[in-house]
Every structure is written in C-alpha cells, then in structure tokens.
A and B are shown apart, each in its own frame.
Chain A
Amino acid sequence: MATPWLLVARHLRAHWLRSGLTMLALTVAMFLFCFLISLVTSLSSAVTAAATDRVIVQSAVSLFVALPKDYQPKIEAIPGVEQVTKFQWFGGYYQKPENFMGQFGVDHEVFLDMYRNEIGITEALALDGATASGDDVNLTPVVRGAGAGAAAVAAMAADRRAAIVGEGLARDFKWKVGDTLPITGTIFAKRDGSAWDFNVVGIYRPLKSSMDDRTMFFRYDYLDETLAADGATGPKGVGVYCVNVAPGHDPEAVIAGIDALFSNGPQATLTTTEAAFQAGFVSMMGNLPFFVGTIGGAVVFAVVFSVINTMLMSGRQRMHETGILKALGFRNGALARLMLGESLLLSLLGGGLGVLLAVVLATPLRYLLGAFLPNYFVAASTVWLALGVTLFIGLVAGITPAIVAARLRPTAALRSEG
C-alpha cells in the first residue's frame, strides 16, 4: 500500500501548538545561523572579490606612516605598471564623531578609470547646466544612468573640492548631488579650526563586494594644496599607492620590483596584492570570525535537541495509531517514511522560513550594521548550506522515531493507549 502522506500534514496540524513552537524555534535558529555565517563570509568577501591585477604599496613600518610623494613617478616607471593612484586616509567625521566613515584623497584623473569594475556612478553633477541651477538645490542638474560616469569625471576635474560618495552614505545622511558637506578632520585639522568643505558631484554604487557603499572619495590635490599653503596641519605624503598592473604582466614581478626599488629607504615599502592587503584588515578582527563560527555551531546544536525532543514526543503519542495502520496492512517502510516525512516537513518549513527571513532582512541588517560591516550580504552558498543543515536536522530528529515506528509490533502498539 502506498504511503498515506496526507497523515503527515494532519499530524502537524493536530498538534499545532507544538509544531508551531518547534517551527518557530527552527526559524529563529536558522535565521541566526545564516546571519552569523554571512558575517564571516562578508568579512572575507573583500579578500575573495579583490582585484587580481591590482597591488597596494604601503609603508613596511606601519599603516600610519606616509610614503613620500616622489615615490609615484618611480612606481609608474616600473615595467608592468599601468596606472597609479594615491589613497590618502582622511579620518574625518560629518557633524559628530560617531558619524565616522572612510574618506580617501585620490588622483581624480585616473581613479574612476582604475576602479571602473568596482565603482559604478549612479548620479553625477551635469556641468553644462550648472549656471542655470542658481541657489536652489532642487534645480541642481543631475545626470543619471549611462552618461553619469563621464559626467562624474568631468565634474571632479572642474571642482577642487569635488567628492564622490557611496549610496549608503547618501541614504543615511540624506546627501544629494550638489550638496556641500562640512567634514571635520581629526588627522588633518584646518588652521582656523573650521571644517573642510566638500561638494558632492557624484554618488556611486559598489559593483563588487570588495567595495562598500559608505566611502567618500575626494581630490588628493585639494588636501595637498591646503597643507602646502599651511592652511591645515597633518602628515604630508601618501598613505598607500594603488597600482593597476597592465594586462599580461605578473603582479608578483611588479611587487618585487617596487619593494626592491625602495629597500634602502627613506621608507621601506610593503607591497602586496589587493587580496593580501584586505586579508590584513580581516586578520585585525583577531579571533572574532572564529568565535562567530563557533556560536553558529552552538545555535544549530541547541536547536537539534529541540527538534529531536519534539519528534520523540510525537512518536510516543502515536504508538496506538501506528498499530492500527499496521493492522490495516501498511508496511513498516511506509510507517517509517511517515515519521521521517513529518520530521523533514517540520524542519524544512521552519528552517526554510528562517533562511527566507535572513535573505529578506539582509538589506535592513546591513543598514543596522552600518560602518562596522558595510558590505554585509547573504551569499547563495550560505543559503544552500543553511538548507542543507535544515535537512540534516530533519533527518537526525526523525530517524529514531521512524525506526521505532517500523519495528513496533502491531499487537503491542494497539495495546498502548493513544
């Protein structure tokens, strides 16, 4: 006789409170599991998504020691080097110190071209209409879509104080193209104590998970000229140089070439691939990813017990009924399948909902995490892993009561009270 699958749904409904609670527990647990795994994968995605044709030159001593400006032409002269941009960490904040974010001074002539695979301009200031806009910010002429990238390059070139901001920042602080942002420098303080003014000429969307949407890029020469004119204090020089390696050249050879060139100072350099550079930041998290992974395991462990408990209860309560089904001629296999099916349905419904929640809530969670993990996302592999774990929980929880149900002798089962 075929397996009476309808009974599975009926059983779950008959004990709706117990089924519901177990399902909810699974939902919560699998949601948390996905969240934790995503924390770790998002952290390391900056490493895996890093450009393979880019190397980063920094001081061999410290992240906070600047390299001389005259290193740039020397780096550009090395065979295999295609383009070079400075990256100068600004370390400022908007309005209050809690609003920290990444701000980098870059070489605007090459930056957007070098990062065309990472940064997509969604909106940019339209230069030709600039005079028509007057003082009304609502009339700021904006280019959207395909022409935005070129417009941003032109707008950067036209304005020394130009800046491009990520869409996450624009959303949180309600910045629009055409706004002037007062940014207080903590490393670079203006002599007169005022904030630095940056004009938003473009908003970008990250195209790869190695780039986040909470960074501001501005013109290095604005910073450099202000420092040179003694309008501000702060370290002169360049934090890191980002170097795009020309197609067909080995990044390792470029790395060796750069480090050899500066091995006798005045500042020794430490050149790494972009992946290794990002990995350095991940390793700064110390053991945290390991802890988080352990906690994810603990969550699964805890919920497994909860589901096992439920299925054992369900099996015990159903002895009498199992006896009747056997007496009616249903085979042992069918009864085992019923039990296992109930367990699987229960865990897939609950766990599936949890996974769904994790996917749906990914964006709000990224906003909540803010600057701590600006590129939080739930990877497809995480979804599959979580569904696999859910399936596993269902199997483990159902296997014992299924065996018990199959082995039960009808006479003994019928004798037990239903």
Chain B
Amino acid sequence: MALPLAYTVRNIAVRRASALFTALGIAMTVAVFAGVLSLRAGFENVYMPRGNQDVAIYLRPGATSEGESGIQREQADILVKERPEILRDDEGRPLAAAETFLAVFLDKLDGGKTNVPLRGVQPMSIPLRGDQLHITSGRWMEFGSDEVVVGQRLAARMQHCQVGETLVLNLTPFLVVGLMDSPTAESGEIWGDVERMMEALERPVFQRVIARVRPDTDFAALAEEMKHDARVPVAVSSERAYLGKQTTATGGMLQFLALFLTAVMGVAAVLGSMNTMLASVAARTHEVGVLLAIGYSRASVFTAFLIESALIGLLGGALGLLIALPFDGLQTGLTNFNTFTDVSFAFTLTPALALQSFVLAFGLGLLGGALPAFRASRLRPVEALREL
C-alpha cells in the first residue's frame, strides 16, 4: 500500500521554512550549473553549428587558427584559380576569397582595451557567407576605399564603431559605413577591403583562402593530398571542422569550471538536504510509528520520504532556473583563447540545459533523502510510538 502523494506534499507545506532553505541550497547549485553552461553554449553556438560542410578553409600547414596562418599572394592566386573542388558562379568566377585576419586593439565602451577580429575581405567574401550575413544599417564598404563595416554585436560593446565614426588602424583612418549582422562569429568582426587593410597594417600576406566547394568533397582525402602539394602545401578543412577546433580552450575552461563548481556545491547542497530530511524524520517519529502500525509497509514509508526529498529537489531546480533565466539572451563577451580575440555572444539557456538542470536538482534531492528515508523505514513501530 503506497502512501498518497498528498501526504508528502502536506508535510513539505507544514515544514515550509526549512524546506525552502534546503531548496535554496539546491537552487544555488542549479543556478551556477545552468549559468556557466549557458555561457558555454552561447559561446560555442557562434562557432561549429554555424559552419558549412561545403565551405573549405585553406591555411598554412601546421596552423590551427587564422592568426597563426600565412598564405603568400602567389599561392592564394594558384589556389583560387586552379583548385578543381572550388565551385564557380554563373559567370565562371571562382567562389573563393583570400582574406587577412588580425586581432586588433579596440577600446571597450565600459573602459579597457580588448582584442577584436579585423578581417580584410575580397568582394567574393560577402556572397560566400550566403544569406546569413546582411547589412542592418548603412551599406557595404566600397572596395578600394578606406571604409569598414562592423558587426552589430561588436558595435554594441566598442567605441568608435557606429556608422559615421572613424576607426584608426595603425596610422590610417577608416570610416565606418555600415553595420552587419549574422548568427555567426562575423557579427563580432570588422570587415574592410583586404588590399587597403594590407597596406594600412603593412602586412602583405593573406591568412586564409575560403571557398565554396563541391558538396561531395572528401575533406580527409583532400587534406592529405594538399598537405604534400608541391607548389602550394596547405592545411585544408571544412568550415564546420575548422570552427569546431576554435572553441577547445575557452569551451574546455568553462566546462571544467561548471563541473567543478557543480560537484563541490552539489556536495554542500546534499549535506544540507540530508540534515533537513533527518530533522523531518525525527520530528515525525511518532507519526511513522502510527503508519507502520496500521499496516503501511517499510517500502512505502521509504518511498514517501524519498519523494518528499525529491520534490524539494525539484522545487530547488525550478528556483535555480528562475535565477538563471534572466541571464538567457544577455549579451556578453569572452576571449577565445584559441584565437586570442574577443567574441561577442549571448548566454544561451538551451532546453536541453534546462532539462539537465532539473535532472541535477532531482538527483541532488534523491541523494540527500536516501539516508533519512532509510532511517525512517527502519524504525521499530513500538519504540516509534513511544516517542512524542
């Protein structure tokens, strides 16, 4: 015979102050868990999931990110004109662009400097990004002139980045003529004509070639082939694979932080909840004696106390998510330690993360309730009834 759920719920209601204290302990754990992981989710969401499988990135052999890479002009020309896997548009032009990349110092609106990705692009760079990338105000830069377009998410956090303002790169002033937006990392970049950038920064080398390739391209085979190419040895990978490798350092750090904090705070929360449940059992010793005496099984007493603890856990989970929820969508920035540039993104509390938080809260509640529930179920009715 199982004890009705209403019995358990009523018990929580009677001891609501101490139940709430316990739930708050669990809530803090869940909030930290969900908060740090939604930071990571938002950060990583800018990268790999946005990468295309039919876009290829060519870097210098051995380079793991653009900042380390370098491709000479002649090499880039050969790649763009001759690679058979690169698609062409209706007019026969290769769908490929050679780009430069540099992390430049920019002043943050709230003070301090940070490293911001600056990309020199060719006209084909824009159609290559497809429909995702679009202008939200102003216009695209004129190729051949000292103009730049700034990513919307970046412009919101940096000085001198609004349309009509001027950004000085080394000694050359560039006019901001537009803002661009995209769900990808481009929304945190500054774009200008690659030729003008190279001249202003005195860096005559491209960092990468990006190209739309045939959808059936076998990247593993292509990478192996091009690694030992006699004229232009390069490291080639799909954009998706490339972006996946750009989050290892910062993503790993956030992952470690989340797991470590959750583990330690979880232990504290379980200890707290164990205490509360022990008190709950102690205060109801007489009552448990009655239940056992009138024929409720030890298993159902055990279950009733376990459910009580699990419910407190779920309450904590809900409270914790309530604390973490306001962060969802909040814009923030973090340094990507693979590329050493500032990345603009928003906290993203994914449904999967919310579910994991509830599972965590439920688990913490169960853990805290197991020992006290076992104690309650082992009480001897005769002695329990003697307690008042």
Q: Could you list some 29 contacts between A and B, CB below 8 A?
A: A18-B275, A22-B275, A24-B267, A25-B271, A35-B264, A61-B201, A63-B340, A64-B67, A184-B62, A233-B70, A234-B70, A267-B170, A268-B170, A280-B112, A284-B335, A285-B335, A286-B334, A287-B332, A295-B261, A302-B25, A302-B268, A305-B272, A306-B22, A306-B271, A306-B272, A309-B18, A309-B279, A312-B18, A372-B253
Closest-by-CB residue of B relative to A287 is B332
Contacts of A234 in B (CB 8 A): 70
- Please tell me which one of the listed residues B113, B202, B276 contacts residue A283 in the complex, with CB atoms under 8 A apart: B113
B35 in the interface, Cβ–Cβ < 8 Å?
Answer: yes
B150 in the interface, Cβ–Cβ < 8 Å?
Answer: no
Closest-by-CB residue of B relative to A307 is B272
Contacts of A180-202 to chain B: CB distance below 8 A: 184-187, 189, 193
Contacts of A62 in B (CB 8 A): 102-105, 115, 118, 201
CB pair B268–A306 under 8 Å, yes or no, is yes
Closest-by-CB residue of B relative to A39 is B257
CB pair A28–B268 under 8 Å, yes or no, is yes
A288 in the interface, Cβ–Cβ < 8 Å?
Answer: yes
CB pair B342–A61 under 8 Å, yes or no, is no
B217 in the interface, Cβ–Cβ < 8 Å?
Answer: no
User: Closest CB-CB distance, B310 to chain A, in whole Å?
Assistant: 19
CA of A284 to CA of B105 in the docked complex: distance in angstroms? 11
A303 in the interface, Cβ–Cβ < 8 Å?
Answer: yes
Contacts of A288 in B (CB 8 A): 334
CB pair B171–A301 under 8 Å, yes or no, is no
Closest-by-CB residue of A relative to B111 is A283
CB pair A309–B264 under 8 Å, yes or no, is no
Closest-by-CB residue of B relative to A305 is B21
Contact digits for B348-387, partner A, Cβ 8 Å, 1 yes 0 no: 0000000000000000000000000000000000000000
B213 in the interface, Cβ–Cβ < 8 Å?
Answer: no
B52 in the interface, Cβ–Cβ < 8 Å?
Answer: no
User: Closest CB-CB distance, A12 to chain B, in whole Å?
Assistant: 14
Contacts of A286 in B (CB 8 A): 114, 332-335, 342
CB pair A299–B28 under 8 Å, yes or no, is yes
> 4 smallest A-B Cβ distances: which pairs?
A306-B272, A25-B271, A302-B28, A305-B21
B259 in the interface, Cβ–Cβ < 8 Å?
Answer: no
- Please tell me which one of the listed residues A60, A302, A312 contacts residue B24 in the complex, with CB atoms under 8 A apart: A302
Contact digits for B202-214, partner A, Cβ 8 Å, 1 yes 0 no: 1100000000000
Known contacts A306-B21, A306-B272, A309-B22; A64/B102 CB under 8 A = yes
User: Closest CB-CB distance, A238 to chain B, in whole Å?
Assistant: 15
Contacts of B103 in A (CB 8 A): 62-64
Contacts of A309 in B (CB 8 A): 18, 21-22, 272, 275-276, 279
CA of A97 to CA of B60 in the docked complex: distance in angstroms? 16
Contacts of B219-276 to chain A: CB distance below 8 A: 253, 256, 261, 264-265, 267-269, 271-272, 274-276
A65 in the interface, Cβ–Cβ < 8 Å?
Answer: yes
B176 in the interface, Cβ–Cβ < 8 Å?
Answer: no
Contacts of A35 in B (CB 8 A): 264
Contact digits for A263-274, partner B, Cβ 8 Å, 1 yes 0 no: 011111010000
Contacts of B61 in A (CB 8 A): 189, 193
A-B Cβ contacts below 8 A, count: 159
Contacts of B1-59 to chain A: CB distance below 8 A: 18, 21-22, 24-25, 27-29, 31-32, 35-36, 39
Contacts of B275 in A (CB 8 A): 18, 21-22, 25, 306, 309-310
B322 in the interface, Cβ–Cβ < 8 Å?
Answer: no
Contacts of B125 in A (CB 8 A): none
Contacts of B165-183 to chain A: CB distance below 8 A: 169-171
Most buried by B among A31, A309, A372: A309
Contacts of B70 in A (CB 8 A): 233-234
B64 in the interface, Cβ–Cβ < 8 Å?
Answer: yes
Contact digits for A298-324, partner B, Cβ 8 Å, 1 yes 0 no: 110111011011101100000000000
CB pair A417–B271 under 8 Å, yes or no, is no
A384 in the interface, Cβ–Cβ < 8 Å?
Answer: no
- Please tell me which one of the listed residues A17, A61, A299, A303 contacts residue B278 in the complex, with CB atoms under 8 A apart: A17
Contacts of B63 in A (CB 8 A): 186
User: Closest CB-CB distance, B42 to chain A, in whole Å?
Assistant: 12
CB pair A298–B271 under 8 Å, yes or no, is no
Contacts of A141 in B (CB 8 A): none
Contacts of A184 in B (CB 8 A): 62
Contacts of A240 in B (CB 8 A): none
A125 in the interface, Cβ–Cβ < 8 Å?
Answer: no
Contact digits for A31-44, partner B, Cβ 8 Å, 1 yes 0 no: 11001000000000
Contacts of B110-135 to chain A: CB distance below 8 A: 112-115, 118
User: Closest CB-CB distance, B183 to chain A, in whole Å?
Assistant: 20
Closest-by-CB residue of A relative to B105 is A62
B68 in the interface, Cβ–Cβ < 8 Å?
Answer: yes
Contacts of B132-179 to chain A: CB distance below 8 A: 169-171
CB pair A185–B62 under 8 Å, yes or no, is yes
B388 in the interface, Cβ–Cβ < 8 Å?
Answer: yes
A115 in the interface, Cβ–Cβ < 8 Å?
Answer: no
Closest-by-CB residue of A relative to B228 is A193
- Please tell me which one of the listed residues A25, A187, A417 contacts residue B268 in the complex, with CB atoms under 8 A apart: A25
Closest-by-CB residue of B relative to A31 is B264
CB pair A298–B272 under 8 Å, yes or no, is no
Contacts of B51-106 to chain A: CB distance below 8 A: 60-64, 67-68, 70, 102-105
Closest-by-CB residue of A relative to B388 is A417
